[in-house]
Amino acid sequence: MVVWRQRLSPSQAVLVRCAQPQAGLLGSTCTDDENFVESLRLLSQISQETSVEMGQERTTLHKKIQLIDARPKVNAMANQVKGAGYENTSNYRLLHREFMGIENIHVMRQSLVNVASLALV
């Protein structure tokens, strides 16, 4: 689901939120997910394509997809035992994944709610 788009920038970047994949210990894949991510990359490339003229040769710089996983990597690996896990990036073109190491996103969200409520008092 696209949750944000940077319209007033040449990058036309989008933020897409998705659920945890059900890869499991066997590393199952989902062709629909892979096709969706590739579509996002291609659409991004169309709107952001940068070409460099070098004499008679024309080089196109391809845009990468940056995948941010808020969890620590060890948590994502542990979730594989429960049938979930994380994406195998080799199934995606030009995709880079980074784990952010946030221990418990639900606790973090509640902390933000608590801080916001203090500001309203």
The rounded distance, in Å, linking the Cα atoms of 68 and 14 is 13
> Under DSSP, is residue 52 helix (H, G, I), strand (E, B) or coil?
strand
Q: Residue range 79-100: average pLDDT? A: 89
What ranges in 3-95 are assigned the alpha helix state H? 31-48, 73-81
Q: Residue range 27-45: average pLDDT? A: 83
The 10s digit of each residue's pLDDT in 56-66 is 555 555 677 88
The 10s digit of each residue's pLDDT in 1-16 is 777 777 777 666 778 8
